[in-house]
Amino acid sequence: MASGSATLAVQKRRRMPTQGDKEYLESSAIPETSRQDRKASPEPANHTTTERPRKQKRPREDETISEARVDFWTEKGTWPTEEQEKTMDRFRDIVHHALARKRSSASLRRKRSDTSINAETVLTRTPSDQQPRQQKSQLKERGSFMGKYEEGTTAESKELCQKLLRASQSPPEHTLFDDNLFEDTLELIKGRNETRVIRDIALLIIPPAEILAIRGAKRLKILRETTNADWNNAIPFCGPRPQPDYGLGFKREAFNREQIQKLQPFIGNEMEGWSYVAATYDMYLPFLTCEVKCGAAAMNIADRQNAHNRTVALQNLVELFRLVGREKELNREVNGFSISHSDVDIRIWGHYAVIDGRDATFYRHPIGEFSIKNTELDRGKRRICSAIDMLPTDLNFEVSDQPEPQFPDQERASSNSGLSLKELGSRYVEEGMTASLA
């Protein structure tokens, strides 16, 4: 019996490759033709083996760079360069986090909390002078500040804001803002509720892009508006998703077919998924929000909601640019605007992210009264499209099954995306991104 066991042990050792065998295989380049020839030759019909059939390799986020190199060699018949390895490793680490993900059935039924960051009134509210501080602190703890960064925004962004302020704008004609009606209009809406203020003056403060497009501003046809719509597709920053009184972003048609193809893994199913790209099912990458509030502490509430709105939008933009190694371009650059107004006051803000490695914090810059729909639109869209163009094409992504994240530091969990490492590496490198991500 002992002799039989010894024989089996010897046979097992013969079948197992030694470390020297592994090193030899890694240093050898087997011609692709010979691999294909072996695959083409059929096995005998009476072939039997004690080995179990191989299971298809499942993607793992913890797969080492050595295993990634083997996958690359299997796909391409050559070993990746050092810079290609860096690109593969970097993209593999971040892509799972950025993929669209499925909503849970509980989340589909979940209603917005009455005590949410966006709630103006609640049944059991704290004193009006205390609740805003608590909600402002909630944003601050997560990295969103209702003030400016120590160094402020960039000189280029400040110049952009001044350029917008200096630009001549034609006032609307035959409206409640006519000189002979303006004072009476202010008296009419004084002390009225939010709905009345929106009805009477909101469209004059922020002329709706879609109506302007109908009236001949064809360059605005790529934009999509939302009014009091939940950003159900947006991945949250803290608390519930935003629901601005007015939001402005891009239509799907704003991007060409190839760009949409590259974005699709990060958009997912617009009707039942969460995404870093889609805020709603038909509005992508919003860059302007407006909140209207009336009553005591109205502007502070509107400002806080806008800070939350813009933080969600900015984190999405940062994730998109991080995928192609260009997140530093966004550092301290104004990349979105918000307008807060009541029946008597208007505040306009520019919002920007401060990038520090993998961390991003969010701030705002006071601007003034101006229209942003002309000068800034082309600049913002060109930058976004240039990042989308750098994404890889035809990757076999699947929507992630990971649960809804509540906070960014919980979103780093692994996802079952169905994406192989050789696709993450070799196809990404094929798109010519090594130089920009090295």
User: Can you give the pLDDT at residue 400?
Assistant: 56
Element (H, E) at 224: strand 223-226
User: Can you give the pLDDT at residue 367?
Assistant: 87
Q: In 3D, which of 367, 227, 239 has the Cα closest to residue 289?
A: 227
Give the length of the chain. 438
pTM over 0.85: no
Q: In 3D, which of 239, 230, 244, 248 has the Cα closest to residue 284?
A: 248
Residue 29 belongs to some domain of the structure: no
User: Can you give the pLDDT at residue 130?
Assistant: 43
CA distances from 246 to 37, 265, 431 (A): 62, 27, 38
Element (H, E) at 169: none
How many angstroms separate the CA atoms of 334 and 96, rounded? Answer: 27
Q: In 3D, which of 263, 192, 254 has the Cα closest to residue 233?
A: 263
Tokens of 323: 């995928």
How many angstroms separate the CA atoms of 433 and 438, rounded? Answer: 8
How many angstroms separate the CA atoms of 109 and 113, rounded? Answer: 12
How many angstroms separate the CA atoms of 271 and 277, rounded? Answer: 13
- 350 C-beta neighbours (distance < 10 Å), count: 26
Residue 76 belongs to some domain of the structure: no
Q: In sequence order, what DSSP letters do the residues of 95-124 get, joined into one string?
A: HHHHS-EEPPHHHHHPPPPTTSTT-S--TT
How many angstroms separate the CA atoms of 287 and 314, rounded? Answer: 8
Residue 91 belongs to some domain of the structure: no
3 state SS of 3: helix
Alpha helices, DSSP H, located in 190-323 = 194-197, 203-205, 209-214, 257-267, 298-323
**Please, how many CA atoms are within 13 Å of residue 273, restricted to the half-sphere of its CB?**
22
For residue 330, give its domain range: 100-119+126-416
Using CB atoms within 10 Å of the CB of residue 153, give its burial: 0 to 12 exposed, 13 to 18 middle, 19+ buried.
buried
Classify strands 359-366 and 346-356 as parallel, antiparallel or unpaired: antiparallel
pLDDT along the chain (438 residues), means of 10: 49 47 45 44 43 40 61 76 67 55 51 40 38 66 88 92 82 84 88 91 90 93 95 85 94 93 82 82 94 86 93 91 89 94 88 93 81 58 87 62 51 39 41 38
How many angstroms separate the CA atoms of 54 and 45, rounded? Answer: 19
Residue 322 belongs to some domain of the structure: yes
Residue 379 belongs to some domain of the structure: yes
Residue 262 belongs to some domain of the structure: yes
3 state SS of 71: helix
In the chain, the number of structural domains is 1
Q: In sequence order, what DSSP letters do the residues of 412-427 get, joined into one string?
A: TS-------HHIIIII
Under DSSP, the state recorded for 201 is I
Residue 26 belongs to some domain of the structure: no
The label of the residue with tokens 């995306």 reads 417
User: Can you give the pLDDT at residue 42?
Assistant: 46
The label of the residue with tokens 């006519």 reads 178
3 state SS of 336: strand
User: Can you give the pLDDT at residue 403?
Assistant: 55
How many angstroms separate the CA atoms of 41 and 37, rounded? Answer: 6
Residue 95 belongs to some domain of the structure: no
User: Can you give the pLDDT at residue 292?
Assistant: 93
- Evaluate whether 142 touches 407 at the Cβ level (below 8 Å): yes
